[in-house]
Amino acid sequence: MTRFDFHNIITDTDSYKNSHYPMYPSGTEYVSAYIEARGVEMPVSMFVGPQAFIRT
């Protein structure tokens, strides 16, 4: 196994979000999320579907 074969969750997500679960109230069974572009230098942005990530 090389270092490139391994799945690194830190490079796939905003890693700080992985620490949010202790803040959920006891008994939480469902959490919803959404994707939003962060500020950029360009006046417009193009949303290119996340299907590659959703389907895996």
For the purposes of burial, counting CB atoms within 10 Å of the CB of 51, is it exposed (0-12), middle (13-18) or buried (19 or more)?
exposed
* pLDDT, position 26: 92
Predicted local distance difference test score (pLDDT) of residue 42 = 75
DSSP string, 2-41: -TTSS--HHHHS-GGGGG-GGGSPTT---------PPP-S
pLDDT digits (tens), the chain, 56 positions: 565 666 666 566 666 666 778 888 999 998 887 767 667 777 877 777 777 777 76
Distance, in Å, from the CA atom of 50 to the CA atom of 56, rounded to the nearest integer, reads 10
Q: Tell me, what's the pLDDT at 7?
A: 66
> Cα–Cα–Cα angle for 52, 45, 42, nearest 5°?
135
pLDDT given for residue 27 in this prediction: 93
